Amino acid sequence: MLSNDILLDAARLLVELRAAGLRLVSAESCTGGLVCAALTSVAGSSEVVERGFVTYSNEAKTDVLGVPAELIAKHGAVSEEVAREMAAGALRAANPAGVSVSVTGIAGPGGGSAAKPVGLVYLAAQRRGRPVVVKECLFADPGRAEIRARSVKAAFDLVRAALTT
């Protein structure tokens, strides 16, 4: 599942976070912890990775990250609004982390709709004290494993964007 490209990118991101003096927390749904797994596959990651939350169910998003149930009911778990709240909630729950990343989406093969098809993923990243950066990805449907792998790569890229925002 974790390709050499993802592991190399994880190693590069760890170097960037270490240079910035930041610890990272993840809040993951459709990736089920793969962002954290990729980062912690690299030796020395304990200096940078604070923790990861796998909040697969709506209840977990609410209980662990403080995402309002009303927000999920209004916009759905796969939405920009929920991704934003997941990233903010992860930072609240994981002090002293300085940057967060969240992922919520539909990895398939089922669960999609015309409005929210398989391959739709929302990501958010936030550096403490700065604005949340959000990205919507539509990976079509290259298969569950590929959607999740692309989501990990997109999460790393979004963390980099949050570092400079």
Residue pLDDT, tens place only, 15-27: 999 999 999 999 9
Residue 126, domain extent: 4-164
pLDDT, average across residues 153-160 = 98
Rounded to the nearest angstrom, the gap between the alpha carbon of residue 89 and the centroid of all alpha carbons in its chain is 12
Q: Residue 165 pLDDT > 90, yes or no?
A: no
Q: What is the pLDDT of residues 40-95, one digit of tens each?
A: 999 999 999 999 999 999 999 999 999 999 999 999 999 999 999 999 999 999 99
pLDDT at 93: 97
Rounded to the nearest angstrom, the gap between the alpha carbon of residue 136 and the centroid of all alpha carbons in its chain is 12
pLDDT at 1: 60
Whole-angstrom Cα distance, residue 115 to residue 120?
Answer: 10
Q: Residue 2 pLDDT > 90, yes or no?
A: no
pLDDT, average across residues 23-44 = 98
> Which residue from 118, 129, 119, 132 is spatially nearest to 162, judged by alpha carbons?
132
Predicted model pTM: 0.97
Peptide bond into 109 cis (omega under 30): yes
Reported as type and span, the H/E element at residue 146 is helix 144-164
Whole-angstrom Cα distance, residue 149 to residue 57?
Answer: 20
pLDDT at 125: 98
Contact in structure between 91 and 103 (CB atoms under 8 Å): no
Reported as type and span, the H/E element at residue 58 is helix 58-65
Domain harbouring 128, CATH code: 3.90.950.20
Contact in structure between 130 and 165 (CB atoms under 8 Å): yes
Q: What is the pLDDT of residues 105-141, one digit of tens each?
A: 999 999 999 999 999 999 999 999 999 999 999 999 9
Mean pLDDT of the chain: 97
Count up the domains in the chain and report the number.
1
- Residues contacting residue 142 through CB under 8 Å, at least 6 positions apart: 119, 150
- Tell me, letter by letter, the H, E, C secondary structure of 62-109: HHHHCCCHHHHHHHCCCCHHHHHHHHHHHHHHCCCCCEEEEEEECCCC
Share of the chain above pLDDT 90, in %: 98
**What pLDDT band is residue 12 in, cutting at 50, 70 and 90?**
very high
pLDDT at 7: 98
